[in-house]
Amino acid sequence: MLRQQIGQQVIMGLRGHSLGTDEAEFIVKNNIGGIILMGRNVESPSQVRELVAELQSLRSRMADKSPLFISIDMEGGRVHRLKPPFTKWPALAHVGKIDSTSVAFRFGQAMGDELRAVGINLDFAPCIDIFTNPENTVIGDRALSSNPEVVSRLGSALVRGYIKADVIPCAKHFPGHGNTFIDSHVDLPVEHKSLDEIEKVELEPFKKIFRARLELVMAAHIKFPKIDPEWPASLSEIFLKQILRERLRYRNLIISDDLDMKALTLNYDKGTIAVRALKAGCNILLYCNEPDSPPTALDAVEKAAKDGQLDPKTIAENHSKILELKREKLVSPDPKSIEDVSRIVGHPDHLRLSKAILEGIVPADLIAQAT
């Protein structure tokens, strides 16, 4: 029972275009909560649809009989896992330059429609980091703007667009990655801002977007020594419990950024990372690339719960919250028919919208269109 509760708190990657027998067995046996699709898992709309359908069929054999989160990183621009004939969406900086909530909403809805057609129900987007450091190539054009008010307005519209498309959005990267120099994939970024400083800038979009019925927020691997001298935000009770939960009154789910990023693995062992993330306040652990990481995490968390290092009540509460969100949001988790997929993916209106955003002028009929 404990192992199955922990498994529901893991989203993990797969090796390739199809589901391996060993991968399916691991997902079923451990009651894994969800999958993240990376570029290596994507070949065509029909292949993604078939993979997702097979993944969702596993739920009948799993302890909770609950649909899986099928997640992806799809922001537009550089962060774009789906290849043509899926619509190629521009980076969010282009949406920011137009500065229209209607355009941002339609962007999120249209992208979400294509994701949902093939059965993807969770998108790790929008990126609501504020581009305050021009030398920050990690974020760069992934950010909507350097203006907190613009990011707040357009980010909220993007969230509403994804929700309209029946896709769960996940705002990232809390408490803000826009001022960093170092890529957390490579090493641990360190920011020397105070809580007062980030509250006036970085936290503003999060405050506003929470009002747009956001169900999920991603915690970043960034260390702020003036706020928590010991732990990066994703492993910090100060950031996740005191600031996010108490100060900002966020009540929904928190997911870690990929726990295999070198920002963490260069500084802590994998078991410690998993246990600490849950202890700090993460509800879901994300593992994108390393096949040995999910079993290592499950073993470490199970041992910590049995040894008293981690309160079993934390695991039970996370489990309950995840199932509640799935019951509410994943009512029809299977992909659409192949005919609907062919009609929705790369829809002419989506292609026109993408091109218009790149050109900076979006006709009114494209904003009003719905596939």
Counting Cβ atoms within 10 Å, is residue 355 exposed (0-12), middle (13-18) or buried (19+)? middle
Catalytic choice (73, 113, 257, 260)? 257
Q: What is the rounded distance in angstroms from the CA atom of residue 121 to the CA atom of residue 226?
A: 37
CA atoms within 13 A on the CB side of 302: 16
Catalytic choice (185, 269, 311, 334)? 185
DSSP 3-state of 268: coil
Question: Is-contact 297 331, C-beta < 8 A?
Answer: no
Q: Extract the tokens encoding 198.
A: 């980030």
Question: Is-contact 300 274, C-beta < 8 A?
Answer: yes
CA atoms within 13 A on the CB side of 156: 17
Q: What is the rounded distance in angstroms from the CA atom of residue 179 to the CA atom of residue 183?
A: 11
φ, ψ for residue 217 (rounded to 5)?
A: -130, 145
Note if 185 is an active site residue.
Answer: yes
For residue 282, which of 249, 308, 317 has the smallest C-alpha distance?
A: 317
How many other CB atoms are found less than 10 A from the CB of residue 92?
31
Q: What is the rounded distance in angstroms from the CA atom of residue 148 to the CA atom of residue 86?
A: 31
Note if 257 is an active site residue.
Answer: yes
Counting Cβ atoms within 10 Å, is residue 32 exposed (0-12), middle (13-18) or buried (19+)? buried
Catalytic residues: 185, 257
